[in-house]
Amino acid sequence: MSFEPYQFARTLHEEYSSDGDETECHSEVDKKEMELKEPDIENLNVGQAKRLSVSAEAYGEWNKKNDNFVAKVYKKDEEEKSKIREALNESFLFNHLNKVEMETIVNAFFDKNVEKGVNIINEGDEGDLLYVIDEGEVEIFKTKENEKEILTILKSKDVFGELALLYNSKRAATAKALTNCHLWTLDRESFTYIIKDNVAKKRQLYEDVLKQVTILKDMDPYERSKVADCLKTKTYANGDIIINEGEQGNTFYILIDGNAIALKDNKVIKTYNKGDYFGELALLKNQPRAATVKAQNNCQVVYLDRKSFKRLLGPIENILYRNVENYKKVLNQLGLDSACIGDN
């Protein structure tokens, strides 16, 4: 997923994430992790990109907190609240909130009906609302040289528009109702009051973790921050299976606490410690998982879905491929078949 920005680091990268593979950056989404990229941030030079980054002037006057803020409450039944909650839990911006914070945000959503064919968001407009689709379908597209480029189709429980609430930036794409739609809508003030500080803390925590990962520590800070914005966290108990040999792989993992082991034919072929990563083979080579990875002690991982992995870790793909040969050597030394890893 990633477009109108839910990806914290993609400053003007407005993304509408609708996680397709697994969890995608739910950075706005994710549930299909769609991302609406701001007029091609990839084409900006490093200096420009850094000036756009959160650490610079991301929040601006628009996002200053109001000390007299009173949380808005719009009446909803429990089923409606549950649907909003479920959608927000798929976004990295919201999934770390405690119960009180989550309820405050959920209560602040108000509903909006949009007729088929109406633009909900217009590319180039100022953004001050976040949307959750309750019912209906929304088409996300950009216009380049008078040509319409469809980026994705959003459906029920997809979220879009959040990063526009964090940044003083214009909408990166147009969102048009393909059907009659019922939306839940959140204003900038409510979003900023609860979310801004939480996101900043989460971002710094993950960036600190990534600096300890050997293959990522030399990445440009801007690139590393983009990875941090798409990470999600999961905890495993001793003996839990993190990866199953033979299954389709859609996730790349980094161990941030505890230990894990890789097993093949019931033999331990590798031990993972804090800062180690695994799961990249299946994503690099589009093959089933080559081994099982099991938690030792209680452990915690952060992870990226397939789409985010491919997009964000491109600069280090060659380094990852070098490890393929190392895995083969270990298997051969143990007398195990390395054919499952394939060739580079």
Check whether residue 47 and residue 191 sit in a common domain.
yes
Across residues 315-332, what is the average pLDDT? 55
Check whether residue 244 and residue 326 sit in a common domain.
yes
Looking at every residue in the chain, the average pLDDT score rounds to 73
Residue ranges of the binding site: 162, 171, 280, 289
**Other beta carbons within 10 Å of 292:** 19
Check whether residue 165 and residue 103 sit in a common domain.
yes
pLDDT for 314 equals 63
Nearest residue to 190 via CA among 248, 108, 271:
108
Q: Examine the pLDDT at 80 and tell me if it is beyond 50.
A: yes
pLDDT for 67 equals 64
Asked if residue 2 belongs to a domain, the reply is no
Nearest residue to 172 via CA among 83, 340, 318, 52:
52
pLDDT for 336 equals 45
- For residue 38, the one-letter residue type is E
pLDDT digit string (tens) for 175-233? 999 999 999 999 988 888 877 666 667 777 777 888 877 777 667 776 777 777 778 88
Nearest residue to 116 via CA among 139, 87, 92:
139
pLDDT digit string (tens) for 134-185? 999 999 998 888 889 898 899 998 888 876 776 667 888 899 999 999 999 9
pLDDT digit string (tens) for 15-48? 333 333 333 443 333 333 333 333 333 333 333 3
Assign residue 168 the CATH number of its domain: 2.60.120.10
**Other beta carbons within 10 Å of 141:** 17
- Structural domain tally of the chain? 2
Phi, then psi, of 277 in degrees rounded to 5: -130, 160
Q: Examine the pLDDT at 304 and tell me if it is beyond 90.
A: no
pLDDT for 193 equals 80
Asked if residue 219 belongs to a domain, the reply is no
Asked if residue 301 belongs to a domain, the reply is yes
Q: Which has the minimum average pLDDT: 115-124, 166-175, 291-300?
A: 166-175
Check whether residue 48 and residue 191 sit in a common domain.
yes
Residue ranges of the binding site for 3',5'-cyclic AMP: 162, 171, 280, 289
Q: Examine the pLDDT at 316 and tell me if it is beyond 70.
A: no
pLDDT for 145 equals 86
pTM of the model: 0.49
Check whether residue 64 and residue 175 sit in a common domain.
yes
pLDDT for 27 equals 37
pLDDT for 66 equals 59
Rg for the chain (alpha carbons), in Å? 21
